[in-house]
Amino acid sequence: PLDQPLPETPCVFCGNCIQVCPTGALRPLSMEV
pLDDT one-digit tens code per residue, 1-33: 578 887 888 888 888 988 898 898 888 877 555
- Core vs surface per residue 3-24: b (16+ CB within 10 A) or e: eeeeeeeeeeeeeeeeeeeeee
pLDDT at res. 31: 57
pLDDT at res. 1: 57
pLDDT at res. 33: 54
Q: Which amino acid is it at 30? A: S
pLDDT at res. 4: 85
Ranges of H-type helices in 1-33: 16-20
